[in-house]
Amino acid sequence: MRIAMISEHASPLGDGGQQTHVADLSAALAELGHQVRVYTRRDDPTVAEEVTTPGGISVVHVPAGPAHVVPPDLLLPYMGEFARWLEGQWRGAAWTPDVLHAHFWTSGLAAVTAARRLGIPVVQSFHELGRIETAADGKPSRSGYERALGRAVDRVVVQTQDEVRGLVRIGVPRTQLTVVPAGVDSERFTPEGPAVDRDPERPRILSVGKLVERKGFGDVVQAMRFVPGAEVVVVGGPAPDQLPADPGARRLRALAEKLQVADRFRLIGRVPSADMPRWYRSADLFVAAPWQEELEPSALEAMACGVPIVGTAVGGLTEAVVDGLTGDLVPARDPRALGGALRRLVNDKVRRFAYATAALDRARQAYSWKRVAAQVGSVYAAVAGRRKGAEAVAS
């Protein structure tokens, strides 16, 4: 099939969660024999209009809005221009996609607008949902756009049952939704390979993510009171040189000082994705303690590196982590329970080994990109076939 990925702010040439998802899914689809083009907004005046990746993916830079970085939630005013450019490219062209796959809600608006007049089916992935709200000025809210999109597209691909519940809650019919989990690159994230240096005498607990309150890093710091002798290392947030001025980093450091665990708490800041396998391999345990969350790629990456997980029983973690087999799940916002689970696993080398082995097997079997791409490809084939059938009946 000819597949057009619409990813207005998350270029597969970039570095980040959604960027990596689009890049890895596109590469896996190409390996299955599909032709894939990714359309992303030009945010750099010096970048070429089209770039071909080593894996044969064409990345097309769409001139819509200013040629500099704009925060994702401020891109809405440029989506009409984005859609008109896409329609102009495809109308009467030799390469017209069989299906569009939009990533994020603003991409979905551009995709639906461009596809409507051309009769191309649209698949939507939200990746994250906005808060349910009604705009005070009478204009549509983000959740309103997401509701309309969920009803307008041919199919919504969701990653977890938690996301299903969120979309149904805002009014998207369950019949519109197909669950396909996220994938993990098991060739890059492996137990074998170099690891970041560490103190072999001090157990290392690793956590990864943006330094925002809902990720539960404050709970992790509090939990360290119950895990004597271990250190916790947090990777994520701004670049290392920007950590001293970052509000989230300052808040966590102040909490660690107050609880007298600062000597066992390290903030690393953002590191290149290519370096992440070395950080996972350096850890004895991985902890993910969000309060409410879709599944972070970091949990799957840790599993693929053979690291057992201690996580909160929320969102996609309840599906990725098999409690008592690949890791342990505890209630959210309960530092004492989190600390107890960490302490038990730190002190039980045999259980850690068993969890690590099962986590590695689960990551490779259930979350391989080849498997994910095959499932997403089946969704594409279904919506394209349904659209052709409807057109044949109409004619």
CA distance 33 to 89: 23
Those residues whose C-beta lies under 8 Å from the C-beta of residue 47, and which sit 6 or more positions away, are 61
- Does 209 or 138 have the greater pLDDT score? 209
Task: Give how far Cα 309 sits from Cα of 199, 278, 367, Å.
Answer: 21, 17, 16
Considering only the C-alpha atoms of the chain, give the largest distance between any 2 of them, rounded to a whole number of Å. 74
Among candidates 180, 198, 164, 189, which has minimal Cα distance to 315?
164
List, for residues 238-263, the tens digit of each pLDDT value: 999 999 999 999 999 999 999 999 99
Mean of pLDDT values over 355-378: 97
- pLDDT bin (cut points 50, 70, 90) of residue 283 is very high
Those residues whose C-beta lies under 8 Å from the C-beta of residue 220, and which sit 6 or more positions away, are 205, 207, 232, 234, 287, 289, 335, 338
Q: What percent of the chain lies above the pLDDT cut of 70?
A: 96
The residue written with tokens 């890093």 in the block is 217
- 2-183+369-394 belongs to CATH 3.40.50.2000: yes
Give residue 133's pLDDT.
Answer: 66
**45 CB neighbour count, 10 Å cutoff:** 9
Give CATH 3.40.50.2000 domain extents, the chain. 2-183+369-394, 204-366
Q: What is the CATH code of the structural domain delimited by 204-366? A: 3.40.50.2000
Identify whether the C-beta of residue 309 lies closer than 8 Å to the C-beta of residue 289: no
Burial class (CB in 10 A: 0-12, 13-18, 19+), 272: exposed
- Does 391 or 338 have the greater pLDDT score? 338
CA distance 161 to 311: 17
The side-by-side arrangement of strands in the sheet containing 58-62 is 50-52, 58-62, 35-41, 2-6, 99-103, 122-125, 155-158, 177-179
- pLDDT bin (cut points 50, 70, 90) of residue 143 is very high
- pLDDT bin (cut points 50, 70, 90) of residue 391 is low
pTM of the model: 0.90
Identify whether the C-beta of residue 119 lies closer than 8 Å to the C-beta of residue 395: no
Sign for the CA dihedral angle at 140, 179, 19, 380 comes to negative
For 309, the enclosing helix (H) or strand (E) is: strand 309-312
